[in-house]
Amino acid sequence: MGAVGAGYVLLQLLLVVPGTGLAWDETVYTSQVSGSVPAAFFSAPRARGITFLAAPVAQLTTSMTALRVWMALLSGAGLFLALWVWRALVPVRVLALAGALFATLWVTVFYGPQVMPNLWSAYGALAAAGCFLRAARDPTDRGALSGLAAGVAVTGLMRPPDAVWLVLPLAGAALLVPALRRGPWPLVAMGAGLVLGCGEWVAEAYVHYGGLAERLRTAGRIQGGMGWNVAVGDQIRALDGRALCRPCDVPWRHKVTALWWFALPPLAVGGAMVAARAGRRAAAWLPLTTGVSLAVPYLFLVDYAAPRFLLPAYALLALPVAEALHALLTPPATSAVTASNRKVRTLVPALVAAALCAHLAVQLRVAAGDVRTNRAMRATFSGAAQQLRGAGVRPPCVVSGTSSVPVAFYAGCASHEISGPDTSSTPAGVVAAARRGPVAFLVPPHLPPPAFVRTWTPLALHVPGVLSGYRAYVAPPPGR
């Protein structure tokens, strides 16, 4: 398990960390704890858990590479700890294989060093399920109960809805499965974890968002409305490396990137059956049911796709999948097997190993493509920020308009959006800010500038990528 965690860190340091920059969501999270950049507007769906992990480095330096390295090291340690919980429940070889399968998915590799909450929600869910089984096996294991509460709390801190979908199957097992009934303490631990993890998000709802119900409504509206939406096809199309597929009306071109996704359900069910026959019934079926529960909202209740949303499900399903693959990779040892069957069973491990190598090659190729896209994004935002600084937009400053949130972060400015989910100001507020200091307003190509900036100095942003053709309208210096 230690080797898996170390290998995961090394893979990130070699493939993802060099030259990558912070994407839009990352700039929002990092700005909350940055020592040099004003905090961006924090919209209703977001939770602050990931900011606590980024804070030690973000407070000290603006270096994105330093932050990437820090998050990569933490992600390797997190994977090790989440797997370590299961060491008494699952054979070490199966556990190491599960960790390797999860750690080499392109989405796991790409998001490992990022300031994003989904991977950490996965770690919390994986650890909580393992601690629940340990507590059910030994009711006197106080460490398992504490770990159960901590795992739920971590998931709640990162993604409060994930914590609810995590607790549902665990609580159901504690109440309905005779072999897992161990009194009220597992339920108490889960309740404590929900309070510790989601308490800050709920309290913030009343302080800043008009109450919990209003925050949930606002969060649902920002996410396109929560309801029955079959997003299975969206998730499949997004597996070719799309960080966000919204709206996901793109053609399904790279089908090879989704082959593993279709193999996942039968392998998970088959692996659960293998583990059950080996006497590990609870350790077989609980990860399966919990992983499915965590996948439900992102497959059936959200009308768009982001592969990172399913990381908690993948982390748990990796356990039964590893059980199935381990069984296929292990040749029969009994002499009762006929010569012809022995040949077949000897060939199967070779075929499975070849399939795993091909799967790894596809995953690394997709991850490498996303890294190239990220590096180009960093060059775009950095170039725009450099041009704004050359036009006099330097801290303390404000950037508003389309795509202002990431550009403001790269420029060291505050972002004042006047429309969309990140609305934090008004045209009058932007004009008022221009009386106090440097302000720039970003306008995409083929759109006219709003009336209140038409007298400002236009600046064509000569950068490629998502800001190609943008113009920045720079306010005159205060007093002029």
pLDDT of residue 362: 97
Q: For 330, how many CA atoms within 13 A lie in the half-sphere containing its CB?
A: 12
In degrees rounded to 5, what are phi and psi of residue 393?
-90, 90
In whole angstroms, give the CA distance from residue 480 to residue 471: 22
Residues contacting 80, CB < 8 A, separation 6+: 1, 2, 4, 5
- pTM for the structure as a whole: 0.95
103-112 pLDDT, tens per residue?
999 999 999 9
In degrees rounded to 5, what are phi and psi of residue 245?
-120, 90
| pLDDT of 26 over the 80 cut | yes
Tell me the mean pLDDT in the region 428-449. 96
pLDDT of residue 59: 96
Percent of the chain with pLDDT over 90: 85
pLDDT of residue 346: 77
In whole angstroms, give the CA distance from residue 186 to residue 183: 7
CB–CB of 430/404 below 8 Å?
A: no
Closest by CA position to 68, among listed 380, 389, 384, 375: 375
pLDDT of residue 474: 98
pLDDT of residue 139: 82
pLDDT of residue 416: 95
pLDDT of residue 251: 85
Q: What ranges do the domains of the chain cover?
A: 2-330, 374-474
Closest by CA position to 408, among listed 37, 147, 98: 37
225-235 pLDDT, tens per residue?
778 889 999 99
Residue 45: asked if its preceding bond is cis (omega within 30°), the reply is no
> Would you place residue 420 in the very low, low, confident or very high pLDDT band (cuts 50, 70, 90)?
confident
Percent of the chain with pLDDT over 70: 96
Residues contacting 110, CB < 8 A, separation 6+: 16, 367, 370, 371
> Would you place residue 307 in the very low, low, confident or very high pLDDT band (cuts 50, 70, 90)?
very high
Which single residue is written with the structure tokens 């505050």? 414
Tell me the mean pLDDT in the region 239-262. 91
> Would you place residue 129 in the very low, low, confident or very high pLDDT band (cuts 50, 70, 90)?
very high
| pLDDT of 39 over the 80 cut | yes
In whole angstroms, give the CA distance from residue 283 to residue 129: 9
| Mean predicted lDDT score pLDDT of the chain | 94
| pLDDT of 342 over the 70 cut | no
CB–CB of 94/272 below 8 Å?
A: no
